[in-house]
């Protein structure tokens, strides 16, 4: 108990308010976050909930997405959270090169989500298979054929949490998702 109290007292607030290079109009994460909250409020009432599906990634993208929830990035302060069930999700985050084995699971996950909903792809593999683009086991249809086109793609191998965060915030700030 004392260790916890000591550490939370002396370490203080770890969350970073750093400048994001990619978004000129609102240079601070905090600023973007405030704008974003308005967008999310108008669209979903309260907050944006994401459900992640790995369709054959190496695990690095997952590691970076998990990092978004750590105290340093703390994505939850903007009203964005990752949820355990597609039933609770507004958007589907897809990673990986889309293995043939995952086609059905991906479709079922998407179908289980209530509308309005949209798709975000994360990582180079999710775009064109990345290093596995010409593999025999990559599904012949793309993500777009199974769950509809992604309205945001975040490139990188893997994209860093900062890149994911700024892409997500920047995108939502400029182009509110259309209802599907």
Helices 161-174 and 60-67, packing angle to 10 deg: 70
Alpha helices in 45-121 (DSSP H): 60-67, 103-111
Q: Rounded distance, CA 144 to CA 135, Å?
A: 18
Pairing verdict, β 80-82 and 91-95: unpaired
Tell the smallest beta-carbon distance from residue 56 to other proteins (Å).
4
User: 5 vs 24, which CB is nearer to other proteins?
Assistant: 5
User: 21 vs 176, which CB is nearer to other proteins?
Assistant: 21
User: 26 vs 67, which CB is nearer to other proteins?
Assistant: 67
User: 134 vs 179, which CB is nearer to other proteins?
Assistant: 134
Tell the smallest beta-carbon distance from residue 6 to other proteins (Å).
8
> Pseudo-torsion of CA 29, 32, 37, 40, nearest 10°?
-120
Tell the smallest beta-carbon distance from residue 42 to other proteins (Å).
27
* Residue 78 three-state SS: helix
Cross-strand bridge partners of residue 119: 92
User: 43 vs 60, which CB is nearer to other proteins?
Assistant: 60
Q: Rounded distance, CA 116 to CA 92, Å?
A: 11
Tell the smallest beta-carbon distance from residue 106 to other proteins (Å).
8
Tell the smallest beta-carbon distance from residue 154 to other proteins (Å).
15
Q: In the complex, which residues of this chain contact other proteins (CB under 8 A)?
A: 3-4, 6-8, 14, 52-67, 69-72, 82, 84-86, 96-97, 99-105, 108-109, 130-132, 134-138, 140, 157-158, 160
């Amino acid at each position: 108990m004392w260790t916890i109290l000591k550490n939370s007292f002396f370490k203080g607030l770890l969350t970073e308010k750093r400048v994001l290079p990619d978004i000129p109009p609102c240079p601070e994460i905090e600023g973007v976050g405030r704008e974003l909250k308005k967008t999310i409020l108008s669209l979903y009432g309260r907050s944006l909930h994401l459900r992640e599906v790995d369709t054959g990634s190496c695990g690095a993208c997952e590691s970076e997405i998990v990092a978004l929830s750590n105290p340093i990035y703390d994505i939850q302060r903007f009203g964005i959270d990752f949820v355990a069930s597609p039933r609770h999700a507004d958007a589907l985050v897809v990673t990986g090169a889309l293995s043939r084995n995952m086609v059905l699971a991906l479709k079922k996950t998407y179908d289980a989500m209530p509308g309005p909903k949209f798709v975000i792809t994360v990582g180079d593999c999710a775009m064109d298979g990345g290093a596995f683009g010409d593999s025999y086991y990559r599904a012949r249809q793309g993500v777009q054929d199974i769950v509809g086109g992604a309205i945001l793609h975040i490139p990188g191998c893997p994209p860093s949490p900062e890149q994911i965060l700024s892409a997500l915030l920047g995108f939502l700030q400029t182009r509110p998702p259309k209802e599907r």
